[in-house]
Every structure is written in structure tokens, then in C-alpha cells.
């Protein structure tokens, strides 16, 4: 086994005599590990650094493997698959199979734990949001599809509150998608219709967790629509929705249904 800690100290350069294919195969295996020190600190850290420079064919093979993991019985395997697929899509690779697998998994995932004392970060909602944003910016993907998928994820009943910045990650994905030049004003707001309907049909009493999550996402989206969203964790270009005033107006109108003091 390769000493991946040493590789990280060496700026994630694959050791001499080890092929990229062998390195990726070992890292992909380690990415399944329940131990966060192995899965997250080692495997994910190195793979994320390697993906931009991998051979296109090898990158697509890795993407195929990650897409297959959406049906894995272990949560840490499912939840880390989108974290690897996202940079693959961002570098320009795409497969309709990856998109279909993601669309089936993301709104159906029931284990939305963020941090777990034993597993470390699981964060399926946040990791999935990163991939949603990558697909949302991908020219091969209908720009109206990802906001609709995000709404299904938000409104699906859950016991897990977005307490680990999942709301900010999903709002960022929406803001990135809504920056697509092809979007009309109507398309920039139409995806909110199921949320408006859900808010209008709400009853007095305890606020369901998924409704609280949805409010949190929309609040964050309003800020992104106003200030812009960075295209990458380390900065990148600042993007804004194609129709920011339309987005803010309709998001604000939706929030006013759930927050009557909102002017």
C-alpha cells in the first residue's frame, strides 16, 4: 500500500513507479473506508488533487465507478461518491448515466447525517449539492432540471435538520445553476412553484424539518443572488443569477409566506 500521508506532504504527487491507474484504484478503494482518517483525510484529499490532471479515459472510468456507488448499502460510500464526481464533471467530463444515477439517489437518500462521531463527515445533502451545482453548470444538462431536483430534495420529509451548512451548499448550487445564460426570467422562478404551494398549505404548529430546511436554503439563496457566488471553494470567478432581481423577488415572496414579518 502506498504511503498516502507522505504523498500529501509531497503535494499529492504520485510516487515514482506507480501509475495513475494503480493510484486511482487504491484511492477509490480507500474511499469506501468507514474510518474518516482514511476515507476523507487521505483518499478524498489526494483524489481531489489528482482529478484535474488525470487522463480523460481514466477520469471517466472513475466517474462510472462513483455513479455505481449511489446504490451501495453503506452511507459513507454513497455520500462520498458525489464529492468525487463533482470535480470530474467540473473538468468537462459528462455521462448521462452519471446524471441519471444522481437524480435517482439524491432526493431518495434518507441518511442525511452531517457529522458523525464514528464516521466523521457523511454530509450526503451537502456533498450531493456540490454535484448538483456541477451538473447545473454543465452545458449538456438542462439548466431547469437541477433546481427542480433541489426542490424535491428540500421538500422530501426528513428528520435531519440542515445544521452543518447543508443549506449554504445547496443554495450555492442553485445560484450557480441559475447563472446559466440560457435561462429565461420565467425559468429562473418557475422551479419555486412546489415550494410556494407547500408554504401556502402549511398549518399552524410544529414546523416540519424539511420546511425549516427549505426556508434556510432560500434565505441563503437570496444572499447569493444579491452578492454573487464563487465558482470554487478556493475562489474562482464570481457568478450571479442570469436574472438576479427576478430570483430575489420570487424567493422573497416565497419566504414571506413562511415568515409573515418579512416586508
Whether pLDDT at 204 is above 90: no
* Rounded-to-integer distance, Cα 130 and Cα 147, Å: 13
What is the residue-averaged pLDDT of the chain?
97
In the chain, what are the helix, strand and coil shares in percent, each to the nearest 5?
A: 65, 5, 30
Q: Residue 72, Cα to own-chain centre: how many angstroms?
A: 18
Cell numbers linked to 8: 500529501
Q: What is the pLDDT of residues 206-242, one digit of tens each?
A: 999 999 999 999 999 999 999 999 998 877 899 999 9
Cell numbers linked to 25: 484504484
Write down the pLDDT at residue 101: 98
Among candidate residues 57, 50, 125, 39, the one with its CA nearest the CA of residue 93 = 57
Whether pLDDT at 53 is above 90: yes
Whether pLDDT at 7 is above 90: yes
Element (H, E) at 257: helix 244-258
Write down the pLDDT at residue 78: 98
Whether pLDDT at 188 is above 90: yes
Q: What is the pLDDT of residues 121-173, one digit of tens each?
A: 999 999 999 999 999 999 999 999 999 999 999 999 999 999 999 999 999 99
Write down the pLDDT at residue 126: 98
Q: What is the pLDDT of residues 88-121, one digit of tens each?
A: 999 999 999 999 999 999 999 999 999 999 999 9
Write down the pLDDT at residue 263: 84
Write down the pLDDT at residue 1: 82
Write down the pLDDT at residue 139: 98
SS3 158: coil
| pLDDT (average), residues 61-77 | 98
Write down the pLDDT at residue 145: 98
Cell numbers linked to 24: 486511482
Cell numbers linked to 198: 407547500
Write down the pLDDT at residue 24: 98
What are the CA-CA distances from residue 122 to residues 22, 81, 113, 117 (Å)? Answer: 26, 11, 6, 10
Write down the pLDDT at residue 111: 98
Amino acid at each position: 500500500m502506498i504511503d498516502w500521508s507522505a504523498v500529501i506532504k509531497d503535494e499529492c504527487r504520485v510516487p515514482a513507479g506507480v501509475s495513475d491507474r494503480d493510484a486511482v484504484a487504491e484511492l477509490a478503494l480507500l474511499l469506501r473506508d468507514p474510518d474518516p482518517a482514511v476515507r476523507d483525510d487521505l483518499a478524498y484529499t489526494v483524489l481531489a488533487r489528482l482529478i484535474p490532471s488525470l487522463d480523460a479515459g481514466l477520469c471517466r472510468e472513475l466517474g462510472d465507478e462513483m455513479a455505481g456507488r449511489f446504490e451501495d448499502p453503506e452511507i459513507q460510500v454513497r455520500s462520498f461518491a458525489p464529492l468525487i464526481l463533482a470535480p470530474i464533471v467540473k473538468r468537462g467530463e459528462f455521462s448521462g448515466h452519471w446524471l441519471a444515477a444522481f437524480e435517482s439517489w439524491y432526493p431518495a437518500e434518507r441518511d442525511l447525517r452531517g457529522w458523525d462521531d464514528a464516521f466523521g463527515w457523511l454530509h450526503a445533502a451537502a456533498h450531493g449539492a456540490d454535484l448538483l451545482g456541477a451538473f447545473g453548470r454543465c452545458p449538456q444538462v438542462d439548466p431547469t432540471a437541477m433546481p427542480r431536483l433541489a426542490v424535491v430534495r428540500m421538500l422530501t420529509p426528513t428528520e435531519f435538520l440542515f445544521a452543518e451548512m447543508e443549506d449554504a451548499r445547496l443554495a450555492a448550487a442553485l445560484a450557480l445553476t441559475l447563472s446559466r445564460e440560457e435561462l429565461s426570467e420565467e425559468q429562473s422562478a418557475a422551479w419555486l412553484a412546489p415550494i410556494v404551494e407547500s408554504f401556502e398549505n402549511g398549518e399552524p404548529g410544529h414546523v416540519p424539518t424539511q420546511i425549516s430546511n427549505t426556508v434556510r436554503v432560500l434565505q441563503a439563496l437570496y444572499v447569493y443572488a444579491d452578492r454573487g457566488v464563487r465558482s470554487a471553494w478556493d475562489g474562482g470567478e464570481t457568478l450571479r443569477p442570469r436574472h438576479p432581481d427576478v430570483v430575489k423577488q420570487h424567493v422573497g415572496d416565497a419566504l414571506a409566506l413562511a415568515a409573515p414579518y418579512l416586508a
